[in-house]
Chains A and B, each alone.
Chain A
């Protein structure tokens, strides 16, 4: 582990009971879902991680339960260090408290995570989809979402696919 992070990790472990993992030189701190806003605030104010450089989610379905990890990648410009906070969420209606009060840039990123993974953020000021059309059904980056929608057209199924294909109305 980066020696700059050791004290920070120890303090996060003591304060939040956070589990720590390392992968290829990156430090991941796992925080319980109800305390994520508190943990992000502590990282921002106490430990000087003022920049939320990325926020996304990972779907580990069907290997892991709970299936999603929401990932907050934080950067400290003054310390030249980066750290990753992770929250595991699952269930039919995965939900987290919003971090948009801590980092203003989390607003659109949470909208993207909602759009792509269907994870809701309680208290979000504007919880709409951001990328997909508003009438889209489902969340496309979930692993159980169908990948594409059309079979490739070859000679043996040419007519079948041509008939099934939608065509424009004149």
Chain B
């Protein structure tokens, strides 16, 4: 991508994905889901992967610790370097050290990730036993619960998941992820199932944990507002490719790629009134039916004849930015 080799900051790179190609087997035939994904996350940094359904943002996040079952997923090329070691070449034992140890995950539906028949304290203790066995004690469980802002942690440790609200369940998931002191937290739409007031609480918690522990966050979202609130850098995905990347503020204020620009223009904004929205025509392309040439060309207002045929590369434009459109201003 646009990181220059030999950059002193590159020693602090926690995660580096290089030209990742990933297929899904559909009826025995490989269908490309990720096409040449390259990105990096430095220690203490928040990178937002933004995209709509089917863009490949969740698949990218899951592949970091190889959480996708294979088959149907087939890693067809590239590298995923976690602290310099390629997870695509790791044994199951080595992967287990990365999962939880270096990389922690939280997901959209906390209720689906928690075991309904165990008390939440037990589930946090289980994570401690795996990663910090000598500290797998009630005191540490309660410390983690209060760290993520759960009131009356002594009582709450004895609750079952269904006795907690969605926001509290997500806090428990974060406590479980923190149990192993990960250096990178991958949060896949962590607030999408929550109300806005609870979403604000969880985002605030993530930011404070990041400050406290210098933890890096790879946040996957479809919400550009969240990107603006939380991200240092952003990578916009469309149809299995990164189409634009750069410092979050610049990407949102001066988008380079027509897709990013159209996405920003199509969103209603508070306090702007009721002018007609500028919609993007057509719909998001489905896996296996990504258009040739530039994948956004059938929906792009600025498309030219060559866009339908010529493949386009993600090219740096300076200042840490890159776009997959040769006609970006």
Q: Do A and B come from one complex?
A: no
Interface residues of B (CB under 8 A from A): none
